[in-house]
């Protein structure tokens, strides 16, 4: 292609500018690559481990659970192993027990808690030809007064074979002798990846960990000459209902699937951040290329005079963008690997996850990186490249040619594009999937812009913003699923960004003028700075756009988190009545439960008036009519109101004690029940019950799922877990002060480090802290995009200084000092940054408030705006603008006066 | 028709009733007012006039860089007023050569790349022998790989002249080619242009306000207020100066 060489030379002519331009895309691609590599490595590592952990057997027999957490499944009958061993071909039968939360206390009484994984209690596998546990020191435990621990825990926590230690079990605290230490899955090396393992002999494990009810699963080893499928069939034939048999590979892949689900969510969240950075990068590319073309108007005019067609010019610029894109992609992917490594190290330092490092670079990762890096750069450069087409050859001869690109009027094309835009929106609503609504919403905006511009330029420019506002209003008023509403909000935000970006040149001049008035005291430099910012409003607006996006996101996030904190405060203030709150640490969707014996001990304290034990089961039951799995709480319904205010609007206490349940009014409406009705449900062990609705309540602030079972329901079914308590509310006797209450309760909890008693105030503080922590992490990631935007401002300023070389020379010649020139550039930097900041914060507030409105009330119900934060961010924007201007200002001040005046 | 009209197949470029009006009503400016000119093949012609006479505008319109309000302009047999944007571009690429007063070269390309630029744009290979000959004539052999910022003003203009010659166009338009050069260098450039018409059979039309530069041409056309007001064959610097003075009165 004719201008290929020119494109290449233009791209590399100024290496500094080339690097800076590609920097933003580079970082975006690097982060995306790092996320993929990191999550791929996690998957690999886990896959390997899973294989190790489930090794040494061929088949597994376990309970069928129609839904819910496997840990809550009904235990297997104690007589089954004998029946299984009678099957021909079965060489070994190994029953297994596994229970979370089994913690040994160290010699000093403190709990040996695992920090990088769970605490697990298992049985010693002595019936398997290939056991998973290998003795390292001492001997395996054989009676209920003995236990063994994994070798790493023994070393880390100073467990000595032969000594006695306390063990926390669901049956309470037991004092046992440590008979030996072992390694897991590998005779040489312990493969327990950060979790701590306690082993007891099988019978004792069943009694202490599973309350004597049964086994958790049974593994079978088959003689190699028998066909696996035949044995499977034979086992299936003799299994009682409610049990199933799996091959080992089935089990391993099932575990891999579960882990993959979790990894994918993790990956999605990280990718969102990477994409935000890429979005900002696109703005930077767009801005830089617009400026470059503006600078090269004469050169382009010359090429046109010499016979280059508009298409050749456009292609040349697109090629230049391609160079930037390719460089950014290749470097970005290369950089992604060390970043992934860093992420792995970071996680290991936080004591989370395995210790290994692998950096798998799959072809998919490279392809995605290439599409993003190159595709984004090209897309961002396309518009300026197209505009360059309109540069006439006369531009080479006259220095005042403007590049105002107006889209030619074309009613046919205009109407078609507008209709396409409207169709896109309608399609989004019809498909009703958030994943489609988001891109369709943005596509609609683009089509509407292209279409309406062919009728009138102004209407075209307004189209993005109008669509954005229309979608915002729809999101606030329509009755759709939360995910759809959020997608609408997202599309509204993106359209609004694009819209404001298009329109901001119209008011950039005036706004920057007013923003700059406080600096008027600095005299002429300030006036020049204010005028300059307004002189090329397009450039000011685009440079500020990137900053606007970054700050808008930060503002939105802080509004949401502040509101979340306010909601939590509100809830705890109004709805929590109990003085104290005892809870185990969080283990995912359910907290770590503790033995009811602890609850009983607290209740027995002289300082305590009464307690309320509550249990939580994340997938506790399933409604028969619509097969929906529900998160259920259970407690003694008669006492609830003394501890919490759930807004009971209607109740019939006579029904309590007979499969009673309190339902939230939304759930009651959904199932068409009132006080006195019945509701059929199925539990994890496949047993069914007709629950009696004994009350309707209005507040979901504590019972977020809306399902509150009476404690008698679980108590009456031996198969049902939880057998442990998850929360205990404590009412203290009159006259007992906080200090004495705390001492008394903590005395009971001694030896159970992972369970804490908190007052209402402490509970609230902890909740606020958690929210703050999450906010900090999110903000750090967002600030990366802000930093990039500031970089964009710096580049713009540098190029603008270059463009005004002659003018700066003139100003110096007539008496401006270097310092005054520096000041001008710095003030301009601050103004551009503040312009973006003010717009960003305004947008962020609007969308933040809309988010809070949309998020269901049981999650966030109060609106709170962190004004302090907002103003601090604006201040930071201003400072950032000043910093961005530092080097350009120095360059400007250093210009030699005569050279500058004679500059072309 | 002026006295320089020859039979049509010896005319490289001509205009007929060329008129260009800027603005309207009270503020109307007639940059060109019904100009009829013809530039013969193989000759070095100059367009002279004071500033504001319309000489640059005439050149721009005849070269297809700008368009007329009314009237016609021909390069060879092609009526430029009938061509669309793209066709004009292709015409400029193959049939017309340009030398400007300033900003002649693409800064990121070196000398030889600038010289072959119009041919590269057309996707054509340069006639190697021809380019070598030109480079020899303008004496740029050892400067071919230098970038414009590494060349003196005179050298840059020589590169521009070479570029104009390289694609063997129908006609070369030069807009004040020596305006930015000292007299010695300027003379060199003008001598090359003479050489080009005599030895290499090119047609060159130069716009200038400098009588000395005009004296290098074979004939001069004088413009004032958008109209042709005179002509001179085989001009001398003094003759041109005299005629200019008389126009001024």
Q: Which of residues 98-127 of B touch A (CB under 8 A)?
A: 98, 100, 102-109, 113, 117-118, 120-123
Minimum CA–CA partner of B172 in chain A: A306
Among A48-57, A645-654, A692-701, the least confident range: A48-57
Instruction: Summarize pLDDT for A322-335 with one digit per residue, the tens.
Output: 999 999 999 999 99
Kindly give the interhelix angle for A310-349 and A248-295, rounded to the nearest 10 degrees. Answer: 140
How would you list the strands of the sheet with B44-48, edge to edge?
B96-99, B171-175, B204-208, B44-48, B219-224, B227-233
Instruction: Summarize pLDDT for A646-666 with one digit per residue, the tens.
Output: 888 888 888 887 788 999 988
Q: A5 touching B, CB under 8 A?
A: yes
Give me the DSSP letters along A96-121: E-EEET-EEB-TTS-B---SSS-EEE
State the average pLDDT over residues B2-6.
48
- Which pLDDT band holds residue B36 (cuts at 50, 70, 90)? very high
Q: Are A187 and A219 in contact (CB under 8 A)?
A: no
Contact list, B100 vs chain A (CB under 8 Å):
302, 305, 396-397
Cα separations in angstroms, A342 against A43, A146, A259, A353, B153: 17, 43, 22, 14, 55
Interchain pair B109, A394: CB under 8 A: no
Minimum CA–CA partner of B60 in chain A: A394
DSSP A129: S
Count of other CB atoms within 10 angstroms of residue B6: 11
> Which distant-in-sequence residues (6+ apart) come within 8 Å of A429 by Cβ?
A437
- Look up the ipTM and state it: 0.81
More confident site: A182 or A526: A182
Interchain pair A393, B120: CB under 8 A: no
Q: Are A181 and A161 in contact (CB under 8 A)?
A: yes
3-class secondary-structure state, position B89: helix
Q: A2 touching B, CB under 8 A?
A: yes
- Which pLDDT band holds residue A409 (cuts at 50, 70, 90)? confident
Whether A815 shows a pLDDT value over 80: the answer reads no
Instruction: Summarize pLDDT for A759-790 with one digit per residue, the tens.
Output: 888 888 888 888 888 888 888 878 887 888 88
> Which distant-in-sequence residues (6+ apart) come within 8 Å of A276 by Cβ?
A549, A553, A782, A785
Q: Are A543 and A798 in contact (CB under 8 A)?
A: no
Interchain pair A394, B120: CB under 8 A: no
Measure the CA–CA gap between A105 and A173, rounded to whole angstroms: 10
Tokens of A161: 């074979």
3-class secondary-structure state, position A173: strand
DSSP A144: T
State the pairing for strand pair A217-222/A164-169.
unpaired
Tell me what pLDDT residue A355 has: 60
B169-192 residues labelled b (16+ CB within 10 A) or e (exposed): bbbbbbbbbbbbbeeebbebbbeb
Measure the CA–CA gap between A771 and A559, rounded to whole angstroms: 12
CA angle A304, B174, B148 (to 5 degrees): 65
Q: Which of residues 188-227 of B touch A (CB under 8 A)?
A: none
Interchain pair A5, B121: CB under 8 A: no
State the average pLDDT over residues A396-425.
72
pLDDT > 70 fraction of chain B, expressed in percent and rounded: 96
Q: Which of A512, A533, A601, A362 is nearest to A834 (CA)?
A: A512
Spell out the SS3 assignment of B40-55: ECCCEEEEECCCCCCH
Contact list, B121 vs chain A (CB under 8 Å):
2-3, 303, 306-308, 312
Minimum CA–CA partner of A311 in chain B: B86
Tell me what pLDDT residue B7 has: 52
Contact list, B105 vs chain A (CB under 8 Å):
302
Q: B233 touching A, CB under 8 A?
A: no
Q: Which of A298, A306, A314, A323 to mutate to test the interface with B (most CBs of B within 10 A)?
A: A306
Instruction: Summarize pLDDT for A163-172 with one digit per residue, the tens.
Output: 999 998 888 8
- Which pLDDT band holds residue A139 (cuts at 50, 70, 90)? very high
Measure the CA–CA gap between B54 and B241, rounded to whole angstroms: 19
Q: Are A891 and A798 in contact (CB under 8 A)?
A: yes
Instruction: Summarize pLDDT for A274-296 with one digit per residue, the tens.
Output: 878 888 888 888 888 887 887 78
Kindly give the interhelix angle for A738-749 and A596-603, rounded to the nearest 10 degrees. Answer: 150
Q: Which of A1, A313, A6, A317 is nearest to B123 (CA)?
A: A1
Instruction: Summarize pLDDT for B213-240 with one digit per residue, the tens.
Output: 999 999 999 998 888 988 889 998 888 8
- Which pLDDT band holds residue A404 (cuts at 50, 70, 90)? low
How would you list the strands of the sheet with A90-96, edge to edge?
A90-96, A217-222, A59-63, A243-247
Minimum CA–CA partner of B63 in chain A: A305
Residues in chain B: 249
The CA-to-CA distance between both ends of chain B, in Å, stands at 24
> Which distant-in-sequence residues (6+ apart) come within 8 Å of B194 by Cβ?
B44, B216
> Long-range contacts made by residues A404-409, C-beta under 8 angstroms, separation at least 24?
A406/A457, A407/A450, A407/A453, A407/A454, A407/A457, A407/A460, A408/A454, A409/A454, A409/A455
Q: B94 touching A, CB under 8 A?
A: yes
């Amino acid at each position: 292609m004719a201008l290929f060489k020119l494109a290449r030379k233009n791209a590399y002519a100024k290496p500094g500018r080339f690097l800076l331009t590609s920097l933003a895309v580079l970082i975006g691609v690097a982060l995306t690559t790092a996320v993929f590599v990191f999550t791929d490595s996690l998957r690999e590592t886990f896959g390997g481990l899973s294989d190790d952990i489930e090794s040494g057997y061929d088949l597994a027999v376990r309970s069928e659970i129609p839904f819910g957490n496997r840990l809550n499944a009904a235990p297997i009958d104690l007589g089954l192993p004998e029946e299984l061993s009678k099957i021909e071909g079965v060489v070994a039968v190994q029953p297994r027990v596994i229970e979370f939360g089994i913690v040994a206390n160290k010699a000093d009484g403190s709990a040996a808690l695992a920090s990088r994984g769970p605490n697990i209690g298992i049985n010693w596998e002595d019936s398997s030809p290939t056991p998973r546990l290998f003795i390292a020191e001492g001997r395996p435990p054989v009676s209920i007064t003995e236990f063994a621990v994994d070798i790493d825990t023994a070393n880390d926590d100073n467990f000595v074979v032969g000594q006695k230690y306390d063990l926390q079990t669901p049956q309470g605290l037991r004092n046992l002798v440590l008979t030996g230490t072992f390694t897991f899955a590998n005779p040489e090396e312990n493969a327990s990846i950060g979790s701590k393992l306690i082993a007891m002999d099988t019978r004792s494990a069943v009694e202490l960990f599973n309350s004597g009810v049964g086994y958790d699963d049974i593994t079978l080893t088959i003689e190699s000459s028998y066909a696996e499928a035949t044995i499977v069939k034979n086992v299936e034939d003799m299994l009682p209902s409610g049990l199933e048999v799996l091959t080992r590979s089935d089990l391993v892949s099932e575990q891999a699937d579960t882990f993959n689900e979790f990894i994918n969510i993790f990956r999605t969240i990280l990718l969102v951040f990477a994409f935000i950075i890429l979005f900002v990068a696109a703005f930077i590319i767009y801005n830089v290329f617009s400026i470059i073309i503006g600078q090269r108007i004469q050169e382009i005019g010359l090429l046109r005079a010499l016979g280059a067609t508009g298409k050749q010019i456009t292609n040349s610029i697109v090629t230049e963008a391609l160079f930037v894109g390719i460089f950014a992609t290749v470097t970005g992917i290369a950089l992604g690997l060390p970043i992934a490594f860093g992420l792995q190290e970071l996680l290991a330092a936080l004591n989370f996850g395995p210790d290994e490092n692998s950096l798998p670079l799959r072809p998919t990762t490279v392809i995605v990186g290439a599409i993003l890096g190159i595709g984004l750069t090209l897309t961002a450069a396309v518009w300026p490249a197209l505009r360059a087409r309109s540069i006439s050859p006369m531009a080479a001869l006259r220095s005042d040619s403007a590049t105002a690109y107006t889209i030619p009027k074309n009613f046919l094309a205009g109407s078609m594009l507008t209709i396409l835009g409207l169709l896109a929106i309608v399609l989004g609503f019809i498909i009703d999937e958030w994943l489609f609504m988001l891109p369709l919403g943005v596509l609609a905006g683009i089509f509407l812009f292209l279409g309406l511009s062919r009728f009138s330029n102004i209407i075209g420019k307004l189209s993005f913003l109008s669509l954005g506002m229309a979608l915002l209003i729809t999101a606030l008023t329509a009755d759709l699923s939360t995910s759809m509403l959020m997608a609408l909000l997202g599309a509204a935000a993106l359209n609004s960004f694009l819209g404001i970006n298009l329109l901001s040149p119209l008011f950039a001049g005036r706004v920057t003028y007013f923003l700059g008035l406080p600096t008027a005291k600095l005299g002429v430099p300030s006036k020049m700075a204010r005028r300059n910012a307004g002189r090329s409003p397009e450039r000011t607006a685009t440079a500020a756009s990137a900053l606007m996006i970054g700050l808008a996101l930060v503002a939105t996030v802080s509004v949401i988190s502040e509101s979340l904190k306010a909601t939590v405060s509100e809830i705890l203030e109004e709805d929590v009545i109990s003085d104290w709150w005892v809870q185990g640490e969080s283990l995912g969707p359910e907290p770590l439960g503790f033995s009811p014996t602890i609850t009983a001990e607290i209740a027995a304290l002289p300082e305590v008036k009464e307690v309320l034990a509550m249990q939580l089961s994340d997938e506790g039951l399933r409604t028969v009519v619509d097969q929906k799995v529900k998160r259920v709480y259970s407690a003694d319904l008669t006492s609830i109101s003394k501890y919490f205010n759930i807004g009971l609007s209607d109740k019939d206490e006579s029904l309590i004690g007979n499969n009673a349940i309190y339902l939230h009014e939304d759930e009651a409406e959904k199932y068409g029940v009132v006080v006195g009705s019945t509701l059929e449900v199925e539990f994890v062990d496949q047993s069914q019950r007709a629950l009696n609705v004994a009350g309707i309540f209005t507040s979901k602030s504590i019972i977020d799922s809306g399902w509150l079972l009476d404690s008698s329901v679980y108590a009456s079914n031996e198969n049902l877990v939880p057998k442990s308590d998850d929360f205990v509310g404590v009412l203290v006797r009159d006259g007992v002060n906080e200090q004495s209450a705390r001492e008394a309760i903590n005395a009971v909890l001694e030896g159970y480090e992972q369970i804490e008693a908190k007052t209402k105030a402490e509970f609230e503080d902890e909740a606020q802290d958690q929210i703050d922590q999450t906010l900090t992490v999110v903000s750090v990631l967002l600030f990366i995009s802000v930093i990039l935007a500031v970089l964009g401002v710096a580049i713009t300023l540098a190029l603008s200084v270059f463009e005004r070389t002659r003018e700066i020379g003139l100003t110096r010649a007539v008496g401006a000092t270097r310092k005054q020139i520096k000041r001008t550039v710095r003030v301009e930097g601050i103004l551009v940054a503040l312009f973006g900041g003010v717009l960003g914060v305004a947008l962020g507030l609007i969308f933040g408030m809309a988010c809070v409105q949309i998020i269901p009330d049981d999650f966030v119900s109060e609106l709170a705006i962190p004004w302090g934060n907002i103003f601090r961010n604006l201040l930071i924007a201003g400072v950032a603008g000043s910093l961005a201007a530092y080097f350009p200002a120095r360059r400007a001040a250093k210009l030699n006066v005569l050279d500058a005046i004679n500059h072309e | 028709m002026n006295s320089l009209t020859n039979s049509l197949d010896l005319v490289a470029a001509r205009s007929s009733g060329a008129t260009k009006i800027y603005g309207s009503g009270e503020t109307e400016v007639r940059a060109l007012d019904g100009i009829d000119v013809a530039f013969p093949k193989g000759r070095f012609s100059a367009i002279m006039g004071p500033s504001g006479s319309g000489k640059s505008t005439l050149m721009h319109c005849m070269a297809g860089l700008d368009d007329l309000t009314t009237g016609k302009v021909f390069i060879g047999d092609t009526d430029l007023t009938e061509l669309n944007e793209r066709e004009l571009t292709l015409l400029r690429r193959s049939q017309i050569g340009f030398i400007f007063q300033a900003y002649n070269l693409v800064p990121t390309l070196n000398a030889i790349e600038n010289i072959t630029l119009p041919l590269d744009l057309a996707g054509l290979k340069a006639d190697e022998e021809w380019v070598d000959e030109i480079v020899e004539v303008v004496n740029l052999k050892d400067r071919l790989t230098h970038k414009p910022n590494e060349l003196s003003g005179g050298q840059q203009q020589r590169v521009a002249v070479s570029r104009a010659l390289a694609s063997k166009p129908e006609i070369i338009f030069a807009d004040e080619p020596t305006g930015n050069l000292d007299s010695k260098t300027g003379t060199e450039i003008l001598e090359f242009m003479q050489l080009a018409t005599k030895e290499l059979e090119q047609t060159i039309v130069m716009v200038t306000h400098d009588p000395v530069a005009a004296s290098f041409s074979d004939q001069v056309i004088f413009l004032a207020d958008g109209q042709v007001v005179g002509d001179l064959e085989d001009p001398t610097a003094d003759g041109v100066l005299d005629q200019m003075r008389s126009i001024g009165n």
